[in-house]
Chains A and B, each alone.
Chain A
Amino acid sequence: MVRLIRSRSLFNLVTPSCPRTLSSIAALGYGHPRNMKTTPDNHWVWLGWNRRPRKMLLTSLALLTATAALSLSTSSDAAKVRGIVAGFKLLRNPVWVEAQDASRHAFSFREAVPTVPAETRQMYPFIPKELCLAALSAEKQAPPPPVLIRIGGGRTAPVTIVVPPLTKLSFQNTDPFPHRLYAANLPSFGPSDTGRGANRDWTVPSAGVFEIRDEAAPSLRMWVVGDDNVAAIAFPSLKGEFQLSIGQPGEYQIQAFFSGKKVGAPVTIKVTTADIDIAKNPIVVAKKDSSGAKDKDKGDDADKGNSDTESGGADAGVTK
């Protein structure tokens, strides 16, 4: 793996000092967010599969090689779009919110710790994995190389991803026990065991929203959004900062996706060869409604036993 990283360095692929190259990889690689580490200035860089089990090495190498080859051809023309999202703490992870509902019997007791601020006790999402920012072109885009999706820790990474149809997704189980993924209402992707360290491939069949679930872990839910026009995607940092690498100049709409749905208004940008910084105008993914998130999250301070009836059920997890 060290050799792989070194080889990339030779081609100036993973050097923070080469932002154009990084942008190209980010735009074309559709890599796993956990594999995309941020540099001190929150740039996403591709680090590859350097911590994957050894038996996954060959597969990863093949995928990465293909990605790298494509990147080389386009990276020189990629522009970097930096931005920031706001209001994400008003989003609500639908799985976690559902789990608060006592009628779902997800716990026998649930109590708030009073020393934790009330704002923290809202079930806002872990946006580095759950919020996907996509640059949507006016033109139809070709499917990128296979994208690696990591299954572990009770969720997939990323949780929401936007890709063109016919994109091949490779689900890799990083848990020490099997998973049984399946797509809801899609018989062609039925439940099947994916053992520890094993991969299971699936190609996005068409445009639309596909929900991936796991028979072995009911809380695991993933959304794959098939969009013909998606040119690049990025996942924000915990602070909401993101960076998109767009290879082709043109007009794009930057749209945030959360839990398989669009959140916030799209932002239109015109990409040339120069980098763009739109951080001055944050992309607002959720707004505080007059009824307020507080109303929605009422009772969070209270002791929630099984009689607790607080319900989540937010529309795409957005607090209205």
Chain B
Amino acid sequence: MLLTRFWNVLLALLLGSVVFVLYLAVSMYNRSGSRTMAERLSSDSQVVSWYLKEDARERAAQLIQFAVNPELARALQKSNEAESKVPPQSQEKVRKVLKTINERIPAEFAFDAIFAVDQLGRVVDHLGYEQASGMEEFELGGYTVVADALHGYIRDDILVLDRMYRVVARPVELEAGQPPVGAIMGARIVDDRFSRELSKRTNAAIGFFARGQRVASGAPDNFDKSQLDQIVGDLEELDRDEAYKEMGRSKVRTIMGTLGVQYARLPGEAWALGAGYVVARRPDQIDNPFGFFQKSDDKDKEQGHIFVAMAVALAAALLGIVFSLFEHTRPLQIMRSEAIKLAKGQLDQLHPSKFRGIYRKIASDLNDGIDAVAAKGGVPRKAADLKQVLGDIPDQPQMSAFSFPGEASSPSAVSNPMVASKALPSAPQRSIPKPAAPAAEAANPNAPAPPARRPPPPSSHEQHADVGETKEQAWRRVYQEFVGLKQQCGEKVDGLTYEKFEVTLRKNEDTLVQKHGASSVKFSVYVKDGKAALKASPVRGS
């Protein structure tokens, strides 16, 4: 059993190592996932920043159509000349130009609002900013983005007014080399629609925030954007992030262990107001080794070398089985066959040389035991107390043992002694007949076993049964043999009549025939534990 035990210990060590490696893999996977998430978030954040800048440039380019429109320029010039009030004619012309050109702007660069501003900073007219409808003195000249445009610059800004606006502005010139006559400013509302477009183009989950609140968000289909609401509680902590305050981009933060985020401040007035955007990703982590099954996809499973794993498992199992066969099953089978031979009298003792390991010791001990018993000339045995074993003993003899034809001679077949009746007195203790020359034979293990150790050979009774006798004749013969054997074993036979014996046989025959589908049942007698017993053997076929 050493090999088997060693194998079991080895397997246990391997299993422990595998568990350790798995948890190690979980830890490494999570660490790698965190690092990957951080890299992806950083990438997302920069891509969004880049996109916002490029988007602003593209939109600024769209404003050229307004800036070079002479009709618009002349209308603004007219407005400049009237310092007291914007002339209605200028308003009408500006509105017309704004509408006409705005319709030509591609949808992806369309503005939510457009403002035409004169040199005095007044909004001559606008499109899309309904909040200012009817405000005759609506102006924008104080904003740095408009001031820059009025001074000859193209630039962008993000204003946080009633909403968050991504704005671009450029000067409107009537004549090259002259000061601008005004400025044109386009605004795009930073709302969920804008966020969705941004998310679609950058494949990032994005949220915009200002004044401690999330103002817009967008996320890919596989990301629940409501998770971005979690940033509201994290924004207060953001003020303590030195990188965010100084560099404008926070470190990667994990909120509630379920959301990785990185914040970035938006340029423009939004910067000073603490407004910004956040990109988010779910941490790619698992809790335990079983998480690998959930995370892995078909491709991963294909690369998992499942056949190698199965082969290793199979080889290990086979090796274990071989070891157990070699160390357990085979010696046991040898022991069994030797024991059978011993029981049949084919052997007088076990041959230790045929056994290995502990079985050799067992065989040797058994031989010593047998020799010791033989040396004493046999040991008187107590008859079994049937009442203790079987409870109340019926008057009629009972069949308590049977065997199939192939097992008829097997001593391992369970058999119960048949008792005559309750009236029968318990058998007195009697000694089993002693062997003829126990001392001499005990010295020689190969010598035939003493007859006292062997039960009467059933083969002699079976030979009689093979003769073409009727059932009744056979039963009567069995009865005679049974009675004779009981007397021989010192048991009382008072009250054990053939009629009672026949009732018992018939009942057992019916039961066995019905149970095993046998054509008939053959009964034989033998000595069991020093008492006469009856064996029933179902006979299949005729």
Q: Which residues of A are interface residues toward B (Cβ below 8 A)?
A: 34, 37-38, 47, 51, 93, 95-96, 99, 104-113, 115-117, 120-124, 126, 128, 150, 152-156, 174-177, 216-220, 237-238, 304, 306
Please choose the segment from B104-112, B253-261, B267-275 that sits at the chain A interface, where 4 or more of its residues have CB less than 8 A away: B267-275
Given A115-B173, A154-B140, A306-B267: A176 in contact with B131 (beta carbons within 8 A): yes
Complex interface: chain A residues within 8 A of B265 (CB): 105
B136 at the interface (CB under 8 A from A): yes
B145 at the interface (CB under 8 A from A): yes
Complex interface: chain A residues within 8 A of B56 (CB): 108-109
Whole-angstrom CA separation of A153 from B123 in the bound complex: 9
Please choose the segment from B175-183, B221-229, B322-330 that sits at the chain A interface, where 4 or more of its residues have CB less than 8 A away: B175-183
Complex interface: chain A residues within 8 A of B162 (CB): 176-177
B57 at the interface (CB under 8 A from A): yes
What distance in Å separates the Cβ of A56 from its nearest Cβ neighbour in chain B?
12
**1/0 contact string of B70-102 vs chain A (CB within 8 Å):** 000000000000011100000000000000000
Q: Is the CB of B147 within 8 A of A37?
A: no
Please choose the segment from B150-158, B331-339, B469-477 that sits at the chain A interface, where 4 or more of its residues have CB less than 8 A away: B150-158
- Counting from the closest, the 7 A-B pairs by CB-CB distance are A155-B142, A154-B142, A116-B152, A153-B139, A154-B143, A176-B131, A177-B162
Q: Is the CB of A218 within 8 A of B272?
A: yes
Given A106-B267, A154-B142: A176 in contact with B135 (beta carbons within 8 A): yes
B148 at the interface (CB under 8 A from A): yes
Whole-angstrom CA separation of A120 from B143 in the bound complex: 17
Q: Is the CB of A99 within 8 A of B138?
A: no
B197 at the interface (CB under 8 A from A): no
Q: Is the CB of A109 within 8 A of B156?
A: yes
Q: In chain B between 160 and 215, which residues have their CB closer than 8 angstroms to a CB of chain A?
A: 160-162, 170-171, 173, 176-180
Q: Is the CB of A37 within 8 A of B84?
A: yes
Q: A93-B147, A174-B135 given. 5 additional CB < 8 A pairs?
A: A96-B148, A106-B144, A109-B56, A109-B57, A123-B151
Q: Is the CB of A218 within 8 A of B273?
A: yes
Whole-angstrom CA separation of A282 from B157 in the bound complex: 38
Given A107-B156, A111-B154: A51 in contact with B53 (beta carbons within 8 A): no
Partner of B83, one of A96, A108, A109, A238: A238
Chain A residue with minimal CB distance to B52?
A: A108
Whole-angstrom CA separation of A95 from B151 in the bound complex: 14
What distance in Å separates the Cβ of A45 from its nearest Cβ neighbour in chain B?
9
B438 at the interface (CB under 8 A from A): no
Q: Is the CB of A177 within 8 A of B137?
A: no
Chain B residue with minimal CB distance to A42?
A: B83
Partner of B146, one of A106, A121, A154, A216: A154
Complex interface: chain B residues within 8 A of A108 (CB): 49, 52-53, 56, 156, 267-268
Complex interface: chain A residues within 8 A of B176 (CB): 115
What distance in Å separates the Cβ of A82 from its nearest Cβ neighbour in chain B?
17
What distance in Å separates the Cβ of A119 from its nearest Cβ neighbour in chain B?
8
**1/0 contact string of B251-291 vs chain A (CB within 8 Å):** 00000000000000101110111000000000000000000
Q: Is the CB of A120 within 8 A of B131?
A: no
What distance in Å separates the Cβ of A40 from its nearest Cβ neighbour in chain B?
10
Complex interface: chain B residues within 8 A of A238 (CB): 83, 119-120
Q: Is the CB of A120 within 8 A of B146?
A: no
What distance in Å separates the Cβ of B383 from its nearest Cβ neighbour in chain A?
109
Chain B residue with minimal CB distance to A150?
A: B137
Chain A residue with minimal CB distance to B130?
A: A176
Q: In chain B between 36 and 68, which residues have their CB closer than 8 angstroms to a CB of chain A?
A: 49, 52-53, 56-57, 60
B248 at the interface (CB under 8 A from A): yes
Complex interface: chain B residues within 8 A of A175 (CB): 161
What distance in Å separates the Cβ of B131 from its nearest Cβ neighbour in chain A?
4
Q: Is the CB of B179 within 8 A of A116?
A: yes
What distance in Å separates the Cβ of A184 from its nearest Cβ neighbour in chain B?
14
Q: Is the CB of B155 within 8 A of A110?
A: yes
Please indicate which of the listed interface residues A96, A153, A177, A217 has the most CB atoms of chain B within 10 Å of its own CB.
Answer: A153
Q: Is the CB of B141 within 8 A of A219?
A: no
Complex interface: chain B residues within 8 A of A99 (CB): 144, 148
Q: Is the CB of B157 within 8 A of A107?
A: yes
Whole-angstrom CA separation of A237 from B120 in the bound complex: 11
Q: Is the CB of B153 within 8 A of A218?
A: no
Whole-angstrom CA separation of A4 from B140 in the bound complex: 28
Q: Return 11 A-B CB contacts under 8 Å, by A number.
A: A38-B84, A96-B147, A96-B148, A106-B269, A110-B148, A112-B153, A115-B176, A123-B148, A153-B142, A176-B132, A238-B119
Whole-angstrom CA separation of A79 from B52 in the bound complex: 57
Q: Is the CB of A107 within 8 A of B137?
A: no
Whole-angstrom CA separation of A238 from B148 in the bound complex: 17
What distance in Å separates the Cβ of B163 from its nearest Cβ neighbour in chain A?
9
Complex interface: chain A residues within 8 A of B142 (CB): 152-156, 219-220
**1/0 contact string of B354-398 vs chain A (CB within 8 Å):** 000000000000000000000000000000000000000000000
Q: Is the CB of B137 within 8 A of A174?
A: yes
Given A106-B267, A106-B268: A51 in contact with B137 (beta carbons within 8 A): yes
Given A95-B144, A176-B132: A111 in contact with B153 (beta carbons within 8 A): yes
Please indicate which of the listed interface residues B60, B156, B173, B269 has the most CB atoms of chain A within 10 Å of its own CB.
Answer: B269
Q: Is the CB of B144 within 8 A of A38?
A: no
Q: Is the CB of B151 within 8 A of A122?
A: yes
Whole-angstrom CA separation of A304 from B153 in the bound complex: 10
Whole-angstrom CA separation of A110 from B60 in the bound complex: 11
Chain A residue with minimal CB distance to B143?
A: A154
Complex interface: chain B residues within 8 A of A37 (CB): 83-85
Complex interface: chain A residues within 8 A of B60 (CB): 109
What distance in Å separates the Cβ of B209 from its nearest Cβ neighbour in chain A?
16
B121 at the interface (CB under 8 A from A): yes
Complex interface: chain A residues within 8 A of B132 (CB): 176
Q: Is the CB of A177 within 8 A of B161?
A: yes
Complex interface: chain A residues within 8 A of B144 (CB): 95-96, 99, 106, 154, 219
What distance in Å separates the Cβ of B261 from its nearest Cβ neighbour in chain A?
21
Whole-angstrom CA separation of A155 from B53 in the bound complex: 26
Whole-angstrom CA separation of A156 from B173 in the bound complex: 27
